[in-house]
Amino acid sequence: MKVTQAHIRKWLEKAEAENATHVVVMSDDFSHDYYPVYCHSESEARETVSLKDGHNMQSMVEVYNLSASWEAQLRKKRCVTY
């Protein structure tokens, strides 16, 4: 599945509704599916990346910070904003 900006916007909106501060977009390298991990602090986002990236066929794709400009982050080719 290819992740579009529409997918990411939906994930950012859901994260905001859940009072998260960051969205870590992960890839399942076996099924090639992408999924969001909603984090409630920068340290939780960093820990999520540290624990999951490169483990059990998972890869970190992007990190979005909900307090930064969504549009600026979405314009980046690859966003990693803690």
Where does residue 42 rank: exposed (0-12), middle (13-18), buried (19+ CB within 10 A)?
Answer: middle
Q: Which residues pair with 64 in a beta bridge?
A: 23
Q: Is residue 25 part of a domain?
A: yes
Q: What does the pLDDT look like over 34-64, one tens digit per residue?
A: 999 999 999 999 999 999 999 999 999 999 9
Q: What is the model's pTM?
A: 0.94
Q: Is residue 33 part of a domain?
A: yes
Q: Is residue 81 part of a domain?
A: no
Give residue for tokens 């400009």. Answer: 69
Radius of gyration of the chain (CA): 12
Phi and psi angles of residue 66, each rounded to the nearest 5 degrees, phi first: -70, -20
Q: Is residue 29 part of a domain?
A: yes
Give residue 30's domain range.
Answer: 5-75
Task: With a cut of 80, say whether residue 74 has pLDDT above it.
Answer: yes
Strand 33-39: give its sheet, edge to edge: 33-39, 22-28, 58-65
Q: Is residue 10 part of a domain?
A: yes
Residue 17 pLDDT grade (very low, low, confident, very high; cuts 50, 70, 90): very high
Q: Is residue 82 part of a domain?
A: no
